[in-house]
Amino acid sequence: MYVITGGAGFIGSHIAHRLASGAEKLVVIDNLFSGNEGNLSGIAGKIQLIKAESRAISQVSQKPEAVFHQGVYSSSPMYKDNPFLTAKAIEDMVAVLEYCRAKDCRLVFASSSSLYNGIEPPHRETARIKVTDYYTEARYAMERLAELYFRLYGVRSIGLRYFSVYGEREEYKRQYANLVSQFLWAMMKGEAPVVFGDGKQTRDFTYVEDVVDANLLAAKSRIRFGIFNVGTGRETSINEMIALLNQKLGTSIAPLYRQNTIKNYVARTQADTSRAEKKLGFKAKVPLEEGIRRLIEYYKSRS
C-alpha cells in the first residue's frame, strides 16, 4: 500500500496511475485546490480518496510501503498572494513526517529547482541556497525538517528538486501550469503566447513521466536520507521552446513580449543530475521535442 498526498493533482495523479497499473493499493489525499478527481479517471476504483489537506494523513491507519508527499502548494505566485501558505506547507510537512515516524515508512517528497534562484547553472545540490521568496523558504524548510527527522528519529526520506515539470493533466492548475502547457493552450487556439522579458531566459523542462520514474526509484532506494535534482540537464530558452511548439503544431505564431517586472525572477535553470544518476539510477529519457509531441497528441485526442 502507498499513500500519495496531492494524488489528484498533476504530478501526484501520474504517480497514482503508474502505481495502479501494478495493482498496488493506494490512498490519495487531496484538497482539490489545483487537482481534480478527473485526473484519477480510470483508476478511481483502486483508490481510497480522502478529500482533505495533507495533514489528514494521520487518518490512514495502515502502514504504507512508502508515502509520496506531492500535496504542497506548488507555485511561487500562490505564496506571494498568500504568504501564510509558507507556514501551511511547513505544518503539513511536519504532519507527514510524524506519520512516517509513527509508521516507520519511507517518505519521498517534492521540492523545487526554484531553490537555485540567483545561482548560476548548472545547479548542484551542494549549492548554498539564497533567500529569494516565500515559496523557496517553504521548500527549503521542508528539506531541513526531513533531515532533522532523520537525525533525531531515523525517518528515511528523499527530497526531489523538480525542474520545470510539464505534461498531460495540467488543465486544473490553470494559470499555475508550466509555460509549455500554457503556451500550447494559447497557440492551439491561434493566440500568441505572452512572454515576460526577451524570451532568452532558460528552463530545464522535464517531462512528467520522467519525474514519476525518479519518485519510484527514490521509494525503492536504500538511501536513508538525500536531496536530488530531477531534471534533464539541458537548458532551453523560452524562445526555443516556442519555436518547438510552432514546429510541432505546424504554425508560425510569434510571441508577444512584455516587460518583466518581477523582482526575484528566476533567469536560468539547468540541473546537474550526476548525483541522481549515481545514487538513484535516475536519468531523464524524454527530450522536450518528444514531450511536446506527446502533449499535443493528448490534447488533440480530447478535442
Q: Which helix (H) or strand (E) holds 202?
A: strand 202-203
Amino acid at site 117: N
- Closest by CA to 243, choosing from 234, 252, 235, is 252
Three-state SS for 155? coil
- What count of residues does the chain have? 303
Residues 6+ apart with CB under 8 A from 279: 221, 223, 226, 228
Name which of 1, 21, 4, 22 is nearest 13 in CA terms: 4
Instruction: Please give the grid coordinates belonging to residue 116.
Output: 537555485
DSSP assignment letter at 108: E
Q: Is 135 a catalytic residue?
A: yes
User: Do the strands 225-230 and 165-166 form a parallel or antiparallel pair, or are they unpaired?
Assistant: unpaired
How far apart are the C-alpha atoms of 203 and 179, rounded to whole Å? Answer: 10
Q: Which of these is catalytic: 73, 116, 134, 135?
A: 135
- The set of catalytic residues is 135
